[in-house]
Amino acid sequence: MDIAENLAEVRRRVDVACAAAGRDPATVRLLPVSKTKPPPVIREAYDAGFRLFGENKVQEAVAKAAVFADVPDLRWAVIGHLQTNKAKQVAEVAAEFHALDSLRLAEALDRRLSALDRTLDVFVQVNSSGEDSKFGLPPDQVPTFAAELERFATLRVRGLMTLAVFSDDSALVGACFDRMRDLQARLQDTDGQPERWAELSMGMSGDYEQAIGYGATTVRVGQAIFGDRLDPNDYWPVSGR
């Protein structure tokens, strides 16, 4: 598998989707999701020009950060659900966190970040599909949650994140993205700090082109770049899983 070729193809498709939506491709960031993939694969993507990688599990991000400790411009985005007892690890290694969905977690992150004298870019996770199996806040709870976040000086709110419904029905998927676009517009109109809601992290390997049409600014793409996920028994590193 040629990672550089895959990255170039995904980037090309991002450009095509942007053209169809009348958007500047520079407004859409491609975030390679490297979960389960070993360091040599990440090195290939790094050599192809990428500097930020998404990891679902914070322990995997920590392990990989240790491997790449001598590469100061390689950064990590934790994009999966986080338990509060893992807040310290995120505070230590992450440049971005895309799954903030509770005040308890915000407080834990703020406490850890303050101790480290760090800040963290965060995205509020929204359950745009209403599925019980998904994490995230219901859209109608986000404005109140957003107001509460103002007291956490270490958390730099960048925008919203969602996982659309997994479906071959583009109308159902599009409805999730449309809810996010509407929610973003409401927050920008009422929050008083519209720049806090400039980002929409949405769209993955199966739907990122559609997400771009609804205003996605970050698309999180894994399998289209790195191939199928590994069997859990073959994850890197095996220890600690």
State pLDDT tens for residues 148-181: 999 999 999 999 999 999 999 999 999 999 999 9
DSSP letters, 34-90, are -TT--HHHHHHHHHTT--EEEESSHHHHHHHHHHTTT-TT-EEEE-S---GGGHHHH
Q: 55-64, 189-198, 230-239 — which is least confidently predicted? A: 230-239
**What SS3 state is found at 135?**
coil
Q: Angle 170-172-173 (CA atoms, 0-180°, nearest 5)? A: 65
Residue 7: count of CB within 10 angstroms of its CB: 21
State pLDDT tens for residues 90-148: 999 999 999 999 999 999 999 999 999 999 999 999 999 999 999 999 999 999 999 99
Domain chopping of the chain, boundaries: 3-226
φ and ψ at 197, to 5 degrees? -120, 30
Token duo for residue 68: 């790449």
pLDDT band at 192 (very low <50, low <70, confident <90, very high): confident
Superfamily classification of domain 3-226 = Alanine racemase (3.20.20.10)
pLDDT of 241 over the 60 cut = no
Question: In the chain, pLDDT over 90 holds for what percent of residues?
Answer: 91
Question: In the chain, pLDDT over 70 holds for what percent of residues?
Answer: 94
